[in-house]
Structure 1
């Protein structure tokens, strides 16, 4: 019982010390306010490198994506160009092969036509040559027949002259007259023989020229054809 009575006495303040404990207790919460304001600033400053790193990461990712897109576009473009080049090359090779085949076909056709034409021309030329030789032989035969007829007439006339001379020889009265007639007959016969030989030579020369004329014409025609073909 005594302890309960003494306790309140000790809690009662003194008259001069009643306001002292209360006055310093009020400013304590005010001193804590600057500390709370500085903490968000430090947190913001601490978050800046994180945000910068995040932005840098996003920028790097964006650049990587752009680089990947550009690489893919370049690869697609390269593949497309390669495909176009292959298509153009294939088309050119096909066109070139087609042109080559067509050119070979045209050349083969031209060579075949030329061979056929040459064979036809060779046949015609051979026939022309045979006709020229036949014509030359015909001219020669006709000319030799003409010369033969002239020689037969000459021989007949010479026989008649010889017969007439024999009659004259039998009618002579002296050897001197006989020698004179024989000399005249010999000179006359010699002149006639020379004249006849000259005629035969001229006729043979003309005959050979006439015979060679068809052959010469064929040779000239062959030369002209060779010039044209060359």
Structure 2
């Protein structure tokens, strides 16, 4: 029997039309599988990007919060330092005025020199004490300024490590 006879009898397995239909169906199945695979990978990539955007948003929020906290610490520290300097200046002015009046009442040159020496020693000691106090305040202010930034840097490094995984 020829191919033409087989087609008339219903056996279309080897006919070009049947072969073309089978190949078309196979191509459709392969294309559908490829598109499903692409869709799955795209969905996974999108989910990862959304996760990354969320992490970056949280990190940015943390950065802003750290900067605000650092700025508040800087402002508070500078205000404290300015107040300490103003208080010291006022006290130094009062001490100098009092010493000037006392020296003006000196009756002899040796008495005046003694009063000046005592005043100079006292003011030198006061200056050293004030310098130490200001240094401590500046150190504490700097620590308060950098603490939130350091914490955020550590958090950012940990997040960076998590994103790599």
Q: TM-score range by the shorter chain?
A: 0.7 to 0.9
Could you tell me which residue of structure 2 aligns to residue 135 of structure 1?
69
Specify the alignment match of 1:151 in structure 2. Answer: 85
- Does 2:38 match 1:108? no
Task: Find the structure with the greater CA-based Rg.
Answer: 1
Aligned partner of 1:221 among 141, 150, 155: 155
With the length of structure 1 as denominator, give the TM-score of the two structures.
0.57
Which residue does 2:137 correspond to in 1? 203
Q: What's the CA shift string for 1:207-227, capped at 9, x where partnerless?
A: 011111111111111111111
Shift of 1:93: 6.9
Q: What TM-score, normalized by structure 2, do the two folds share?
A: 0.77
Ranges in structure 1 where 5+ consecutive residues have no aligned partner: 1-78, 81-87
1:206 Cα deviation from its structure 2 partner: 1.1
User: Aligned partners of 2:74 and 2:147: how far apart in 1?
Assistant: 11
Deviation at 1:121, TM superposition (A): 2.3
Deviations 1:165-195 (A, max 9, x none): 1121011111011111111111111111111
Deviations 1:14-69 (A, max 9, x none): xxxxxxxxxxxxxxxxxxxxxxxxxxxxxxxxxxxxxxxxxxxxxxxxxxxxxxxx
Mapped pair 1:169 → 2:103 = yes
8 Å CA contact retained: 2:52, 2:163: no
Deviation at 1:160, TM superposition (A): 1.3
Identify which of structures 1 and 2 has the higher relative contact order when contacts are C-alpha pairs closer than 8 Å and 6+ apart.
2
- TM-superposed CA distance for 1:155, in Å, is 1.1
Distance in 2 (CA, whole Å) between partners of 1:112 and 1:91 is: 31
Q: In structure 2, do the counterparts of structure 1 residues 219 and 92 end up closer, same or farther at CA, with 3 Å as the change threshold? A: farther
Match of 2:128 among 189, 194, 218: 194
In structure 2, list runs of 5 or more residues that go unmatched.
1-12, 15-21
C-alpha displacement of 1:94: 6.3
Aligned to 1:184: 118
Q: How many residues align?
A: 147
Superposition CA RMSD, Å: 2.4
Measure the CA separation in 2 of the matches of 1:133 and 1:189. 40
User: By how many angstroms is 1:95 displaced?
Assistant: 5.8
How far the C-alpha of 1:196 sits from its partner, in A, is: 0.8
